Amino acid sequence: MITFRDHTPVPRLGQGTWYLGNDPGREQQEIQALRTGIDRGMTLIDTAEMYGEGLSETLVGKAILPYEREKLFLVSKVYPFNAGRKNIFRSCQQSLDRLGTDYLDLYLLHWRGRVPLMETVQCMEELVKEGKIRAWGVSNFDVEDMEELFRLPQGNHCVVNQVLYHLGDRGVEYSLLPWLKEHGVMMMAYCPMAQGGTLRRGLLNNPQLKQVASNHHLTPTQALLAFTLQDPNVISIPRTGNPEHTVQNSQVAGVRFTDQEMELLNQAYPPPRCKMPLNMV
């Protein structure tokens, strides 16, 4: 657990839901995967109105039915084009309805769009006052975006920036992560085990990663996830619709790599030495 600036406790290892809910034939398995995570302490569940145009939120709503709402930490995200006064209140309510809850623990602007940040901040603050959300944040914001946000009245109420982060994409470590730490904003890592394809295959077959994984009796995939949790300012939200994989994800919660092991990983995938463009998936 970590705490936001307002002392709200937040699990550092949660569950993502991108692509979940899209296939009716997999619904029961995906629900069981989410429930398995909740039962193992992964009570933070991240979703978005974009995911399946609400289908993921609906799936999460079904998955959380047996649980006490107060023991969960629900996160959703608003489309940039819905993040202004015209649409955000309806979007938020629709997300709440699909989730079957009357409040979100955290509501994020999914990425920057044309709606002025000032307007989005004002609307987020109104949602807090109405009790619809308990806190708000952003996603896919680079340093310049965060600086602009923090210059606005109440812009510093932002508690999270959700960005792409894994061993093979460490660009945020150069300036964004240090900036977030300095300003008391948590970083939430999406795709912590990388997307499929050549990059992921290369990561999983890397001899240094395999060695570090073996040291802790982990699979290379588990070691990838554990890497994102080495920094105490980072929350990680792996996504899976497979209950067995959920169990594997949960097993990395307390894993700490030694300095020597981190050096091995640094040799294989060096930390950035200059400012890198912020990647998105």
Domain segments of the chain as ranges: 7-195+231-242
For the CA atoms of 235, 146, 5, 164, the dihedral, rounded to the nearest 10 degrees, stands at 0
pLDDT in tens, 244-266: 999 999 999 999 999 999 999 99
Q: Which of 158, 165, 157 is nearest to 138 (CA)?
A: 158
Locate all alpha helices (DSSP H) within the chain, ordered by sequence. 27-39, 55-63, 88-99, 117-130, 143-150, 176-182, 198-204, 207-215, 220-228, 243-250, 259-268
Give the model's pLDDT for residue 197.
72
How far apart are alpha carbons 206 and 194 in whole angstroms? 14
Give the model's pLDDT for residue 281.
77
Report DSSP letters for 36-76, one per residue: HHHHTT--EEE--TTGGGGHHHHHHHHHTTTS-GGG-EEEE
> Degrees (nearest 5) of the Cα angle 60, 65, 66?
130
Tokens 């960005």: give the residue. 163
User: Among residues 51, 79, 107, 269, which one is catalytic?
Assistant: 51
Residue 3 φ/ψ, nearest 5 degrees: -130, 140
The predicted model gives 43-68 an average pLDDT of: 98
Residues 6+ positions from 150 with CB-CB distance below 8 Å: 156, 158, 183
> Degrees (nearest 5) of the Cα angle 217, 249, 64?
155
Annotated active-site residue 51? The verdict is yes
Q: Which of the residue ranges 9-13, 93-97, 156-160 would you say has the lowest mean pLDDT?
A: 9-13
> Degrees (nearest 5) of the Cα angle 233, 236, 240?
175
19: left (phi over 0), alpha (psi -120 to 50) or beta: left
Q: How far is the CA of 130 from the CAs of 89, 103, 127, in angstroms?
A: 10, 10, 5
For 122, the token pair is 């004002």
pLDDT in tens, 59-118: 999 999 999 999 999 999 999 999 999 999 999 999 999 999 999 999 999 999 999 999
Pick the CATH number of 7-195+231-242 from 3.20.20.100, 3.40.50.720, 3.30.465.10, 3.40.1360.10: 3.20.20.100
